[in-house]
Chains A and B, each alone.
Chain A
């Protein structure tokens, strides 16, 4: 074996622990990068494929009856790729714990074959004769029932019918039931009839040959409407479907976050590896000088260290890449469930693997090679002369000299020592500030969002909302609910969906938004009017709007005269005020204006109630029972807590990854700080020996070193706070625009800050542990320490 390799192997034996730590750091970072990039690549591809595979309808046509009669005509129309009849009913289903969950029942001809709106069986699906109710697999956790067991379902009259659970299906076009708090069920017309539902299809779901954008879908819808009207099969209405997954925005955000995760994982591990090698080379300086003194040139010196680290990097890759791949697949499995998608192809692709390897290994190698080359180019005199604790005059030491703290000189000494190695300090602060900022940002963003939600919910006068399948007069509805114990106020409200016609709009841009009607003298309509004023009592042409109405209809402003279209009716109204509310765009109108627009009269589909109980859920159950007894069975009951929980679930789709990223980054920052502090103590063993020789007690040395570490940690924490404020504001803005549609003010997380403070504990621990080791040596041993 050549002498060079013998030396390399000897160095490897001597520095085994150091090399193991470097390998561990690199492996963690590389595995993190591979996992994140693999998951991102697979999910991006499979999310799109899954949604495409579902053959989601582009247009829904509603008929008063007998939709299949028009199916052939629609299917033959130019631009139509597929048509299927459907009926959708809303009711409720009992979970194992006895609670009643809202359920959307889709009635279709064949569970196993659809050309539009495809679903497919999921898992074991045997049941009694294959007949019964099929449940979308994400609802399994909500129902907690086994295949074959009987499910209890409310009929439209309020009675309870039961059907066996035939099995689970997967509908990739819907968001998971646990997020929506909705069970999605599927049944044939025969089963639907047994559940008291009408078995007659009243919808045709249409899939286009080439969708393009929503405007194209609206155009085709209008053509079909006109064509059907011409042959005496008029539509009740049509709707152009969104064309994207209901949680598309969340999914995209999650994919972006995965990309950020990979970058952070890599930067942290490369920085830490570079830092460790830099510290190691500091200790190798004397050996470098000796080698050069006996004739080695700088590249020969560098080569021996590169030969030591090169194979290490390859070994790391051999371990980390498969580990990262496995971790990435686990991430994909987690998100396949939480996003409710089908994953068919689990491979990330060999091109991506090659890119990952090249990128991670090259950058890691470069980050370690730089301190090696730098050390190798040191002059012999500098290298061999480094026998004391002197350090060359640098910009850092000049700057440090100007730093003087009040109190004893030892604190000035500690502060200046913290700045002694600017590059290392910068690296530590970068890792600390980055990790800490991410940690604080995720917590602050979440608390900001939940604070806005809670504030908005507090503006709502009601804490219970009940939805009915059919409109009923207000008086019997209110009369059924008001006597229920715990109910303080009960009001029947009205709801419809309207569009805005008028200048600046065309039929191709008509989008349905909600119109909510509140009763005269309502005590439950409490949204503050932020601009303008509330409509006058009894005014038939004055409405309020939420700010989000301006997203589909930017021309609608305070004071606008708008034409609202409800079915065939067009009515002019004026927007007299603007309110703010989380969720979809809504117009609010007093009953007089609501009636003017819809012409529906005394017909309420919603009841809002305020309870005086600590447990609105218990009151909700009682209200449910009261409505059933009054033969007014609801299809959905939503308490404030349920609404809040549903939003929380939505946040968690991205929040989970964010928290993972933040924790990993914060951990990396803390490790860098802890390792850096420990190295600091170890490198300055001789200096510590001098201080002891001068009379410093172990306690005063510990105090100085702790002050040094804590000052770095505190600086990192301050930077984290500053950066996190900016990041949180940015994330809050994105959530405001893309999710909640209301302003999200900054709320700084104190628990997040407390976690950051835990990093200080790590510093104290690292200093204490290393100091203990250092002080075990006698002063003589410390003075003679070579590193």
Chain B
């Protein structure tokens, strides 16, 4: 599903200096894998996620996701590819404030155009039912709790039925009980065959993953199955 080869990513700082976020990173993720990415702040976890989700481009190296080489794709083509193949879940939900949560899902489908117009509303209700929010469908995001908003955001990420779901600190803004519920939701999605990639400091969330990749200074320092590093994710 995901293949990264020799990835370098650096950012320009004021004064012309560059800071390297990823250095020669290579990673492969099979379809259906549930992967947690851990590391201290500044280790490059979010940068890695952004490259996989085509939210950013590498300085060097090759990114191949869902059978597509992302290098050289024009912005419009990249946007459509992203909409069809990657569902993104943000730490701060990022729901459109002037649309109801059902409308947020319909907008995602409308932007990509992969779901027939006549089926969009029904699909939105199904997804909200799936995440336990069908009775909140016609409410504005600001009237919902953080947990409800995150579940709505997950439903939106699934709107176009992408094979890959990426989430950057999806429970970073939630209390532990709510975070647990979100974690269970991710487990269900993984069980249904979605490929999941989660950046998290949450030990519980990381624990539910089948595979944990640890980054340090822009490099993979550990890649284990069913193991949670004792100090991983701590500042």
The chain A residues found within 8 Å of chain B, CB to CB, are 387-393, 397, 400-401, 408-410, 412-413, 416-417, 419-420, 686-687, 689-700, 775, 778-781, 783
Q: How far is the CA of A15 from the CA of B156 in the complex (A)?
A: 37
Min distance, Cβ B57 to any Cβ of chain A, angstroms? 7
A687 and B84 contact, CB distance less than 8 A = no
B98 and A779 contact, CB distance less than 8 A = no
Min distance, Cβ B157 to any Cβ of chain A, angstroms? 9
Contact of A388 among B57, B82, B93, B140 (CB under 8 A): B93
A397 and B98 contact, CB distance less than 8 A = yes
Q: Name the A residues within 8 Å of B20 (CB-CB).
A: none
Contact of B111 among A387, A389, A687, A691 (CB under 8 A): A691
Q: Name the A residues within 8 Å of B156 (CB-CB).
A: 694
A697 and B92 contact, CB distance less than 8 A = no
Contact of A409 among B54, B76, B110 (CB under 8 A): B110
B204 within 8 A of A: no
Q: How far is the CA of A694 from the CA of B100 in the complex (A)?
A: 16
Q: How far is the CA of A695 from the CA of B85 in the complex (A)?
A: 9
Q: Name the A residues within 8 Å of B80 (CB-CB).
A: 695, 697
B26 within 8 A of A: no
A397 and B97 contact, CB distance less than 8 A = yes
B88 within 8 A of A: yes
18 additional A-B residue pairs with CB within 8 Å, beyond A410-B107, A695-B79: A389-B96, A389-B97, A390-B93, A390-B141, A400-B98, A409-B99, A409-B110, A410-B110, A410-B111, A413-B99, A687-B96, A693-B82, A693-B90, A694-B82, A695-B111, A695-B160, A780-B50, A783-B90
Q: Name the A residues within 8 Å of B142 (CB-CB).
A: 390-393, 397
Q: Given A690-B94, A698-B75, is A780 in contact with B82 using a C-beta cutoff of 8 Å?
A: no
A416 and B99 contact, CB distance less than 8 A = yes
Q: Name the B residues within 8 Å of A692 (CB-CB).
A: 55, 79, 82
B53 within 8 A of A: yes
Q: How far is the CA of A6 from the CA of B99 in the complex (A)?
A: 43
Q: How far is the CA of A697 from the CA of B56 in the complex (A)?
A: 15
Q: Name the A residues within 8 Å of B94 (CB-CB).
A: 388-389, 686-687, 690, 783
Contact of A779 among B56, B111, B143 (CB under 8 A): B56
A to B CB contacts below 8 Å, 24 in the list: A388-B90, A389-B94, A389-B95, A391-B97, A391-B142, A392-B142, A408-B110, A412-B99, A416-B99, A420-B97, A692-B82, A693-B82, A693-B88, A694-B83, A694-B88, A695-B83, A695-B84, A695-B108, A695-B111, A695-B112, A695-B160, A697-B111, A698-B79, A780-B55
Give the nearest-CB partner of B138 in chain A. A401
Q: Name the B residues within 8 Å of A780 (CB-CB).
A: 47, 50, 55-56
Give the nearest-CB partner of B88 in chain A. A693
A420 and B98 contact, CB distance less than 8 A = yes
Q: Would you give the 0/1 interface string for B97-137, flagging 1 where the beta carbon is closer than 8 Å to chain A?
A: 11110010011101110000000000000000000000000
Q: How far is the CA of A273 from the CA of B229 in the complex (A)?
A: 55
Min distance, Cβ B106 to any Cβ of chain A, angstroms? 5
Residues B185-209 near A (CB distance < 8 A): none
Give the nearest-CB partner of B168 in chain A. A783
Contact of B55 among A412, A413, A693 (CB under 8 A): A693
Give the nearest-CB partner of B121 in chain A. A409
Q: Given A401-B100, A410-B110, A783-B55, is A388 in contact with B92 using a C-beta cutoff of 8 Å?
A: yes
A409 and B97 contact, CB distance less than 8 A = no
The chain B residues found within 8 Å of chain A, CB to CB, are 47, 50, 53-57, 75-76, 79-80, 82-84, 88, 90, 92-100, 103, 106-108, 110-112, 140-143, 156, 160
Contact of A697 among B76, B84, B106 (CB under 8 A): B76
A694 and B108 contact, CB distance less than 8 A = yes
Q: Name the A residues within 8 Å of B107 (CB-CB).
A: 409-410, 413, 694
Q: Given A420-B97, A694-B156, A697-B75, is A778 in contact with B111 using a C-beta cutoff of 8 Å?
A: no
Q: Given A390-B141, A691-B111, A778-B57, is A413 in contact with B75 using a C-beta cutoff of 8 Å?
A: no
Q: Given A393-B142, A409-B107, is A778 in contact with B55 using a C-beta cutoff of 8 Å?
A: yes
Q: How far is the CA of A391 from the CA of B96 in the complex (A)?
A: 9
Q: How far is the CA of A397 from the CA of B75 in the complex (A)?
A: 32
Q: How far is the CA of A544 from the CA of B99 in the complex (A)?
A: 70
Min distance, Cβ A425 to any Cβ of chain B, angstroms? 13
Give the nearest-CB partner of B142 in chain A. A393
Q: How far is the CA of A401 from the CA of B137 in the complex (A)?
A: 13
Q: How far is the CA of A196 from the CA of B9 in the complex (A)?
A: 100
Q: Name the A residues within 8 Å of B75 (CB-CB).
A: 697-698, 775
Q: How far is the CA of A696 from the CA of B88 in the complex (A)?
A: 13
B83 and A397 contact, CB distance less than 8 A = no
Q: How far is the CA of A656 from the CA of B80 in the complex (A)?
A: 54
B98 and A693 contact, CB distance less than 8 A = no
Most A CB atoms within 10 A — which of B88, B93, B97, B143?
Answer: B97
B103 and A409 contact, CB distance less than 8 A = yes
Q: How far is the CA of A420 from the CA of B106 in the complex (A)?
A: 20
Give the nearest-CB partner of A700 in chain B. B111
Q: How far is the CA of A409 from the CA of B47 in the complex (A)?
A: 32
Min distance, Cβ B45 to any Cβ of chain A, angstroms? 13
Closest 6 CB pairs of A and B: A695-B83, A388-B92, A416-B98, A780-B56, A779-B55, A697-B76
Min distance, Cβ B44 to any Cβ of chain A, angstroms? 13
Q: Given A391-B97, A391-B142, A409-B106, is A694 in contact with B55 using a C-beta cutoff of 8 Å?
A: no
Min distance, Cβ A87 to any Cβ of chain B, angstroms? 81
Min distance, Cβ B123 to any Cβ of chain A, angstroms? 13
Q: How far is the CA of A416 from the CA of B99 in the complex (A)?
A: 8
Q: Name the A residues within 8 Å of B99 (CB-CB).
A: 409, 412-413, 416
Q: How far is the CA of A408 from the CA of B100 in the complex (A)?
A: 15
Q: Name the A residues within 8 Å of B98 (CB-CB).
A: 397, 400-401, 413, 416-417, 419-420
Give the nearest-CB partner of A396 in chain B. B98
Q: Given A416-B98, A778-B57, is A393 in contact with B140 using a C-beta cutoff of 8 Å?
A: yes
B143 and A698 contact, CB distance less than 8 A = no
Q: How far is the CA of A699 from the CA of B103 in the complex (A)?
A: 21
Q: Name the B residues within 8 Å of A417 (CB-CB).
A: 98
Q: How far is the CA of A357 from the CA of B55 in the complex (A)?
A: 52
Q: How far is the CA of A403 from the CA of B103 in the complex (A)?
A: 13
Q: How far is the CA of A390 from the CA of B140 in the complex (A)?
A: 10
Q: How far is the CA of A686 from the CA of B50 in the complex (A)?
A: 15
Q: Given A409-B107, A695-B108, A695-B111, is A401 in contact with B88 using a C-beta cutoff of 8 Å?
A: no
Q: How far is the CA of A391 from the CA of B92 in the complex (A)?
A: 12
Q: Name the A residues within 8 Å of B111 (CB-CB).
A: 410, 691, 694-697, 700
Q: Name the B residues within 8 Å of A689 (CB-CB).
A: 55
Most A CB atoms within 10 A — which of B82, B92, B108?
Answer: B92
Q: Name the B residues within 8 Å of A392 (CB-CB).
A: 142
Q: Name the A residues within 8 Å of B143 (CB-CB).
A: 393
Q: Name the B residues within 8 Å of A408 (CB-CB).
A: 110
Give the nearest-CB partner of B77 in chain A. A697
Give the nearest-CB partner of A691 in chain B. B111
Q: Given A397-B142, A401-B98, A698-B76, is A693 in contact with B103 using a C-beta cutoff of 8 Å?
A: no
Give the nearest-CB partner of B85 in chain A. A695
Q: How far is the CA of A691 from the CA of B97 in the complex (A)?
A: 13
Q: Name the B residues within 8 Å of A401 (CB-CB).
A: 98, 100, 140
Q: How far is the CA of A412 from the CA of B106 in the complex (A)?
A: 12
Give the nearest-CB partner of B82 in chain A. A695
Q: How far is the CA of A775 from the CA of B76 in the complex (A)?
A: 11
Q: Name the B residues within 8 Å of A686 (CB-CB).
A: 94
Q: How far is the CA of A539 from the CA of B40 in the complex (A)?
A: 112
Q: How far is the CA of A401 from the CA of B96 in the complex (A)?
A: 12
